[in-house]
Amino acid sequence: MPFSLPTSLNIVVRRLCRSYNRDVRVEKLHSWQVSTTEALEIQRRLAEQVSRSSEVTAPHFIAGVDISAGKAQEVATAAVVVLNYPELRLVETKLAQGKLDFPYVPGFLSFRESPLTLAACQELTITPDLILVDGQGVAHPRRLGLASHLGLFLNTPTIGCAKSRLCGQHEEPGVDSGSYAKVIDRDETIGVALRTKFGVKPIYVSIGHKIDLQTAIHWVMKCCRGYRLPEPTRLAHLAAGGNLK
């Protein structure tokens, strides 16, 4: 089914690179005009549809998504960048700007940020094989964070690459790059605290959709180029803030 945005978003999308003659399909799984009670039920229902089996083999294009918006801001900028692999050279960037309709409520970030992020993704001319999301996947109280929600809408493998922990507990990972500690919530491993660079704070990696945890860790590390954040989400963060040169 075609994807349509809430009319109040008033999306402004800037096309930033050449056409590649491939379309990104966005499914319509539910309306975005919902209450928090309805959102809670949607999360519980969609969490059962998240695939924790890997469908990633040899990706040619890896995307990163991020959004720039403060808690009190009504207008935000969503960015999606696409990098080729293994070079990790930037090949496409799309931005979408609009109003955030859903209120800022902890645990419901995907209902606030997904419509604008999907609007940017829908403008892509290159279809990514894997998407790294600046946010949680199943490392979420109801196992449906932003990465998982987007993965279901895009029907694409996604990985949650969050800067901070939302739920669960973990031991301190080793200081070396590639060291990690399991994040446990209610006796379930929901992700890892992954050290991507010697001595820096870990990031929180979790299954988004159509991937298993070990494969997610593998590809996050493959996408690191000497920074704490993997290149796809690092560049998406810069693009959303208007700082990508």
Q: Which CATH number fits domain 7-240: 3.40.720.10, 3.30.465.10, 3.30.2170.10, 1.10.3720.10?
A: 3.30.2170.10
Structure tokens at 81: 């960048």
Instruction: Compute CA distances 198 → 93, 121, 153, 156, 177, whole Å.
Output: 30, 33, 35, 31, 5
**Which pLDDT score, from 0 to 100, does residue 12 have?**
42
**Which pLDDT score, from 0 to 100, does residue 16 have?**
37
**Which pLDDT score, from 0 to 100, does residue 13 have?**
40
Which residue is associated with the tokens 């930037």? Answer: 90
**Which pLDDT score, from 0 to 100, does residue 175 have?**
95
**Which pLDDT score, from 0 to 100, does residue 245 have?**
79
> Which residues of the chain are modeled with pLDDT < 70?
1-23, 70-73
Task: Report, in angstroms and rounded to the nearest whole number, the Rg of the chain calculated over CA atoms.
Answer: 17
Q: How far apart are CA 119 and CA 68, in angstroms?
A: 14
**Which pLDDT score, from 0 to 100, does residue 71 have?**
58
DSSP 169: B
Provide the residue ranges of all domains of the chain, joining segments of one domain with +: 7-240
What pTM value is reported for the model? 0.90
Average model confidence (pLDDT) across the chain = 91
**Which pLDDT score, from 0 to 100, does residue 109 have?**
95
Q: How far apart are CA 145 and CA 190, in angstroms?
A: 11
**Which pLDDT score, from 0 to 100, does residue 86 have?**
97
The answer to whether the CB of 240 falls within 8 A of the CB of 67 is yes
The answer to whether the CB of 200 falls within 8 A of the CB of 207 is no
